[in-house]
Structure 1
């Protein structure tokens, strides 16, 4: 079993990598990192000595002073190298850098020089190093106004703000989970590669991305329709957009009921995509679910009985409770990386419709069981 530590563990990419490694408990052991370790040689050395693999993601991306960014990133790389030397580590170090290495700015310069410092350590001390030259990364839970323009647009479009288009250039993009799986593949390979260029999985104009996000706001956020997702980029962008919705205030969404002497009719979901729709009854006191998905789009619709739907982002302790009653049919959509369940809290059978965007495949279920 490989012991893996991630500097920048609680950052955007670091948190996705940390959580994904947790899906392979028989292959990887995660060694926890805290940013305060960089200010304490004893704690940093203890961390480094425990690791077979270190993924160095800790860095500063934005600050009003470019010189401060440069000094900070160089210092972080040097502190890590000093600890590697003090502990006589032979770890495989994977260093995140940026395609901005090619540009004439202090951020790109700091990433290139930081990578070179770690490469030099590996060459002189028998370590392994992989320098990851990474394009623009987007994905769920990125920090708006910091990690990417996509994070900023998604936040604005889900919080009654209007994005502005300052520069409509083409941007090379990779989804954070695609990047994470590439990093894990490099860990498994155990090979050194001082300059590994990560290929983008999409190249888009900023205006193209904004147009898609505005469509998601109109169709999904405002009207509950799952839009057409024509390729993996659009699927990943849609899941990214959904992650910025304030679930506490947005759900549950009540359906529009059409009643006549025959009874009631409720439209559960409009689809630009297909998938699988299921129906269940649940006896009082029973709980279904307690699992999460990393890519699937799913809707729970209660049409009869009383239910408690609970969600918890898997690396937090906060549980979101939603109470639904079939007298006012409503739905809650399940965000990626949130474990979720549904419990019958009434005195009669609970009737629920479940929709998910892909048919169940036992060999690739994307379903991980964790108690809410």
Structure 2
């Protein structure tokens, strides 16, 4: 299939006398003895030959195993498959516990943009992996995220950028509509009530806000930040919409039954006071606010 599509592309380029800077996404499977790797390599070599004859720029990207949010389970990567299984009560099975060279999708995008901006062609452009792990080591981390976060609401210890990226990938397979809002355990006695808002194995920043009736906060999304909205007094409507989608998710929270919603990455979100009194909300986020690297992109829900 790869070779067939490459030949069709070359034919179209020749018929239209086009000479773009062409980038071809190949795979580290090129070095393996399998049909997929062989077809990827053949396709890259055909395009490199066309570029040489036509005088066009060509970059043949050799890409390691890519992971990231929203990948298709049983297709894109074992991380997508394992995350999907763990969030749906299934038991992942390791077929071969080998070392895997990994790159997060955002890191790959950055590398591709750098290649485009360089305006230089390379028949072979090896994209370096950012982490190498055994399959069992990755599964151990994902299982930890399931036990701590998915089942208990505890933010796990994310010691590295890789672990944060892996955790955000795992979170993207949670059925948001079914999982949230999560109600806190409320301890009440004649003195009043006590609620434990968050358990953390990681640092970050906790903020508190009051919102007057009818006012909406937010309408932005994040690509890496992990964020929790906890309503402790008043009535709130939290809305989420995945960027690129028209589907809006509505979550109604009431301080009489304190609860939280965690913001998934790539979902624009807001919170509105729909009550008659002030709305009190606790916000936790996994990193300090940095105006020079805010990871905050404004888009209406």
Q: TM-score range by the shorter chain?
A: over 0.9
CA RMSD of aligned residues (A): 0.8
Q: Does 1:299 align with 2:191?
A: no
2:137 to 208, 216, 221: 208
* 1:191-215 deviation digits (Å, cap 9, x = unpaired): 1111011111111011100000000
> Structure 1-normalised TM-score?
0.80
* SS across alignment from 1:97: strand
* 1:298-327 deviation digits (Å, cap 9, x = unpaired): 000001111110111101111111011111
> Structure 2-normalised TM-score?
0.99
* SS across alignment from 2:289: coil
Count of matched residue pairs: 301
Q: CA deviation at 1:77?
A: 1.2
Distance 1:258 1:151 in 2: 38
Moved more, 152-161 or 260-269: 260-269
Runs of 4+ in 1 over 4 A off after TM superposition: none
1:143-292 equivalence runs, <5 A: 143-292=72-221
In the alignment, structure 1 segments of 5+ residues that lack a partner are 1-71
Distance 2:45 2:226 in 1: 41
1:127 to 47, 56, 59: 56
- Aligned twin of 1:346: 275
Q: Does 1:370 align with 2:299?
A: yes
Distance 2:251 2:19 in 1: 50
* SS across alignment from 2:188: strand
Q: CA deviation at 1:188?
A: 1.1
* SS across alignment from 2:244: coil
In the alignment, structure 2 segments of 5+ residues that lack a partner are none
- Aligned twin of 1:326: 255
- Aligned twin of 1:5: none
Distance 2:118 2:187 in 1: 58
2:286 to 350, 353, 357: 357
* SS across alignment from 1:248: helix
- Aligned twin of 1:116: 45
Q: Does 1:78 align with 2:78?
A: no
- Aligned twin of 2:20: 91
